[in-house]
A and B are shown apart, each in its own frame.
Chain A
Amino acid sequence: MSRNDPFSQNIDLLTVALYIGCVMMGWFNVYAAVYSPEAETSLFDLSTNAGKQLMWIGTTVILVICVLAIHHKFYDSFAYVFYGFMILMLLLVLVFGANINGSRSWFKFGGFQIQPAEFAKVATSLALAKFLDVPGMNINRRNNLLTIAGIIVLPALLIIASNETGSTLVFAAFVIMLYREGLPGWIPATGVALAMLFVLALVFPKLYIFFGLVACTGAFILLMPRYNRNPRTFMSMGVVIAGMMVFVTGVDFFVNNVLQRHQQNRIKVLVNPNIDPLGVGWNVTQAKIAIGSGRLQGKGFLEGTQTKFDFVPEQSTDFIFCTIGEEHGFLGSAVVIALFLGLLSRIVILAEKQRSKFTRVYGYCVAGILFFHFMVNIGMTIGLMPVIGIPLPFFSYGGSSLWSFSILLFIFLKLDSRRIGSMAWG
């Protein structure tokens, strides 16, 4: 029957087109990032990152076909099995993984490396979707909330144990899905507020922030309707303000005593980029110079000067956006941002159309993860986020990340194709 034929399904073609756009642009930019005019390597040279990326793209196509060919019920029924298997892999990698730069997160088979942490996002998304796909599920019940937190935190802890802080932070992206599923809005809002307070505490003297907080409270009380001004409100406001002050005071302790040296530096550079221009600030300064030198139209494909050689480190992986900014200028960068916004919005719109709660929850997970990567990765190259080593989905060089993002997206498209199919059927 045609239902299981991957090529005659109701796959959302707009998403596929956006996806292909991203992957192709990524490939060309990986080529540009490692291209050197003297060596004149080919786009297909398997000894360069560009050639290898083509190989990864080829294998990804095969994977995508497999993902589409599998029956959609499979993802639903086996969600917990995937999750359990993933946890097992994360445990095994801690023991048997190859030690690369002090982090044990890669399995090495000959010249071939694979990072289970990348795939943990897919498995966790499926497990969350499965758990929430129960009629009458109220995620604000304490037991349910605890289970959800457990599903998210368990792989996150294992990844942190293998010293991949960046990949761990991605698990915060599930907040977007939870918010959609009924998590009270104040929780993500508090998270964002605390993050902002964290940065403010590093930039401004503590005393200013205390005064600012007190001033805000005063303004808030003045604007409050008179009938609300009772001792209870004041009490709770006092508690909130005190909590914030304690938080602000604790920031320094956290940065200096809890974080590792390189993490401290990344945060300090975010606050003051000139702190160490040839050490830690080097990456960020060079990234900004590369992007800034692109001007409106960019220097043209393969014409970039800053992203060649050692000016920008990790040019083809985490800092791939610099190549885009330099060679394609503001217009090119805007296109990339537009591509991502289009893709993200499309996923959200598709997710909302679902009748199956499983698919909807999963869709929001996909959107959240892609959004988080997009926000952090581009943010760090333009100096708005600390340097956290996570890839730009579909663009960055690397097999594990391309595979995992493609699987993540196409499982959603497969689940989504059932929506139209079953409607036409029933």
Chain B
Amino acid sequence: MLENRKYIIIGVFCLVGLIYLSRLFYLQILDDSYSLESSNNSIKRVIEVPYRGQIYDRNSELIVYNTPVYDLYVTPRQVRIPDTTAFCQMMDLTRPEFDSIMQFAKDYSYVKPSLFMRQLSKEDFARIQDALVDYRGFEPRMSSMRTYPAHTMANALGYVSEIGKKKLENQEFPYYRQGDYIGHNGLEEQYEEELRGKRGVKFVMQNVRGVAKGSFKNGEYDTMAVAGKNLYTGIDVEVQKYADSLMQNRIGSVIAVEPSTGEILVSVSAPTYDPNLLSSRHFSKNYIKLIRDPYKPLINRPIMASYRPGSTFKLIQALIAQQQGSLFTNTFYGHSGSPMRCHCRGGNNLRGAVQNSCNPYFYNVFRKYIYHNNNPNTFKASAIGLHQWHDAVVKFGMGQKLGVDLPSELKGNLPDVETYDRIYRGENRWKFSNIYSLSIGEGELLVNPLKLVNLAATIANRGWYITPHYLKGFGRVGQGVPQQYLEKHQTDIDYKFYLPVIEGMRMAVVAGTVNKMADIPGIDLCGKTGTAQNSKFSHKYDHSIFIGFAPMNNPKIAIAVFVEYGGWGGSAAAPVAALIAERYLKRKTEATKLDEHVKKQRLMPPVSMLPGYKGPKVLPVKPRKADSIRKDTTRKVEKIKPLMAANR
């Protein structure tokens, strides 16, 4: 019985064979659409690379466009070079360079064209065009090169270069091929898909000599290239360039947003480089130079640098404590009972504490906040208090990625109950006295400049923020902006609690911790200084921070300025912020004296002070130049040796 099944099995085999034979008969004999016109013709796939989208600023000024260039391809089999030396001379190549390029091409294929030289400018090409007739096997192809007329914003823009091996292999959906360009870092990477457009493909029939004989199947399989979309950003190029000039001779960042929209107006990472360096054909040479630079110009500091927020964090403390009900506008604290010293005399109410950045005041505010619950056990009460504190601070975007439209944004750090349970190895083993440095923005807190400009914008808006972002539209302004860049994030702090804080910030600029010259008339700057400790160099080289917004009512711009090794916040950072706000609001600079002063400052630390420095140990010989401005406001900080003197 079962033996007979062999007939069925053989029958199935033959049936499949028969189906395949008839299919082959159909493909090979009946249907001639799969056959080509002549058996010697073949189809060639011609790729059309679309223009990459251009990038504009908020006033439709061009930041990035494409310059047409020529790529030179070589087909080794066809190469005829009568005089190699002359050819090398013409191409500006050495003989070994020429040999290695040719070997590379031969290894790839004798009969398929390989890239010989990339991005010959129009002028270079014109020079060799006639001579190329004598050298067979070389073929120019049109291509384009990213060009940056404003020479600015290198880090935020990123750059366009050949796709790396890893990215090429890890494509989810194969699109890029060897040698294709792709955006790296910055906006070029973030919006790669929109900017690059879509490649087109044409199938062309050609005979054995490679002469085109028309399109294959009337172009049924062809796809049109789709040009990349133009990207409109919220950047104000004029102010951006001005900010660049202010940040010369400094390490740090400037970032400014429009509070009502969250659009980033200025984004400086200093030191920076000319983005044109990374788009020319000298890419690798320039790139290596930049990556070896000890000042690390390739780091986009506004989103990739981590600092302690320092005294700027007192603003959040003041807001959340009022909301909790443990702090009132007229709450008064003196200096006694606090382990921190202060530069201001006597005591303060809330406004005065913000104005003078009083450390003991905020020590008391935080203490009250943490113990603002009925638990008699101080350990348990601290845990409850810190938990509340964490939940309130998180609403300002701390300890998380804000979601700016750039890759590699840092999360920062916001400690919570678990953090300290881990540090002190168990629950209820720590209390307020272990964590009080949080009160003035030190301790385990870490932020990047972007988070602080967002804080400034939140206060400017009196209670909410829109995630900071560069995008203003694709193709035209307002088009294709995702929902996440339109919705408001509430801080759940009442409007009225912002008012005393803002008044304090205004006072800080008028008569507080900020350099008096920074109070430029007519812009109504409000701000808060901060100093992130850099104890390695005995506080002489702390990082200077300033955040603020202007004008006080109906603010148009919120700014955060970081100057590494800049000393305390009022000196190095605040004047920069004031000048940028003035330029943005008035479209001109009237505070020329301050402008000159800032541009004169030399705050670039010697290489030996940079983190990761491995050379011979050189102690900084002279401290920062004590200039006239500093004398105006400094109250000899150096003499006091307090626990945290630098926080102001």
Contacts and interface: CB of A to CB of B under 8 A. Distances in A.
A348 interface: yes
A56 to B, nearest CB: 24
Interface residues of A, number: 53
Interface stretch (A120-128, A303-311, A388-396, A416-424): A303-311
A292 B34 contact: yes
**Secondary structure type dominating chain A contacts:** helix
A306 B42 contact: yes
A345 B28 contact: no
Q: Which of A39, A279, A305, A364 has the most CB of B within 10 A?
A: A305
Nearest to B5: A180
Nearest to B3: A352
A36 B34 contact: no
B610 interface: no
Contact of A382 (B10, B20, B35, B174): B20
A71 interface: no
A337 B20 contact: yes
B28 A295 contact: yes
A326 B479 CA distance: 51
Contact of A348 (B10, B35, B41): B10
Contacts, number: 121
A140 to B, nearest CB: 12
A285 interface: yes
B221 A293 contact: no
A277 B33 CA distance: 15
B169 to A, nearest CB: 8
Interface in A229-262: 261
A60 interface: no
A342 B28 CA distance: 23
Contact of B173 (A36, A261, A274, A351): A261
A305 B13 contact: no
Contact residues on B (Cβ < 8 Å of other chain), bracket: 35 or more
A179 interface: yes
A305 B42 CA distance: 6
A38 B77 contact: yes
A295 B173 contact: no
Interface string A93-106: 00000000100000
A72 interface: no
B2 A181 contact: yes
Interface in B28-47: 28-29, 31-36, 39-43, 45
Contacts of B13: 341, 344-345, 348, 371
B27 A288 contact: yes
A309 B112 CA distance: 9
A180 B9 contact: yes
B577 to A, nearest CB: 48
Nearest to A276: B223
A176 to B, nearest CB: 6
A305 B33 CA distance: 16
A261 B571 CA distance: 57
Interface stretch (A14-22, A150-158, A209-217, A327-335): A327-335
A299 B40 CA distance: 9
A314 B293 CA distance: 45
B110 interface: yes
Given A179-B5, A279-B174, A292 B27 contact: yes
Interface string B488-526: 000000000000000000000000000000000000000
B21 interface: yes
Interface in B183-199: none
Nearest to A294: B28
A412 to B, nearest CB: 15
Given A36-B110, A311-B43, A375-B16, A292 B31 contact: yes
B111 A38 contact: yes
A384 B20 contact: yes
Nearest to B208: A305
Contact of B221 (A285, A340, A374): A285
B445 to A, nearest CB: 41
B29 A384 contact: no
B141 interface: no
A398 interface: no
B28 A291 contact: yes
Nearest to A371: B13
A289 B36 contact: yes
A330 B28 contact: yes
Contact of A180 (B2, B27, B34, B111): B2
A271 B629 CA distance: 77
B80 to A, nearest CB: 15
A379 interface: yes
Contact of B9 (A36, A261, A348): A348
A293 B29 CA distance: 9
A383 B24 CA distance: 10
B24 A334 contact: yes
B39 A299 contact: yes
A179 B42 CA distance: 47
B424 interface: no
B102 interface: no
A39 B110 contact: yes
B173 A384 contact: no
Contact of B34 (A181, A288, A374): A288
B142 interface: no
A2 to B, nearest CB: 32
A182 interface: yes
B172 interface: yes
Contacts of A176: 9, 12
B530 to A, nearest CB: 48
Interface in B323-348: none
Contacts of B19: 384
Contacts of A349: 6
A387 interface: no
Interface string A167-193: 000000000100111100000000000
B193 to A, nearest CB: 15
B104 interface: no
B585 interface: no
A62 B302 CA distance: 67
Nearest to A368: B9
A293 B34 contact: yes
A366 interface: no
A399 interface: no
A271 B42 CA distance: 26
Given A288-B34, A341-B13, A379-B20, A333 B28 contact: yes
A223 interface: no
A289 B43 contact: yes
Interface in B530-582: none
A386 interface: no
B17 interface: yes
Contacts of A305: 39-42, 208
A116 interface: no
Contacts of A101: 169
B34 A291 contact: yes
A387 B24 CA distance: 17
A15 B111 CA distance: 42
Interface string B381-412: 00000000000000000000000000000000
A274 B201 CA distance: 14
24 contacts: A38-B110, A101-B169, A176-B9, A180-B2, A180-B5, A181-B2, A261-B173, A279-B173, A288-B27, A291-B24, A291-B34, A292-B32, A293-B39, A305-B39, A306-B42, A311-B43, A325-B24, A325-B27, A330-B29, A333-B24, A344-B10, A348-B9, A352-B3, A384-B23
- Among all A-B residue pairs, the 6 with the closest Cβ atoms: A292-B34, A305-B42, A277-B221, A330-B28, A278-B201, A292-B27
Given A179-B5, A293-B34, A340-B17, 9 more contacts: A101-B169, A278-B45, A288-B27, A293-B36, A334-B24, A344-B13, A348-B6, A348-B10, A348-B13
Interface of A: 36, 38-39, 101, 176, 179-182, 261, 274, 277-279, 285, 288-289, 291-296, 299, 305-306, 309, 311, 325, 329-330, 333-334, 337-338, 340-341, 344-345, 348-349, 351-352, 364, 367, 371, 374-375, 378-379, 382-384
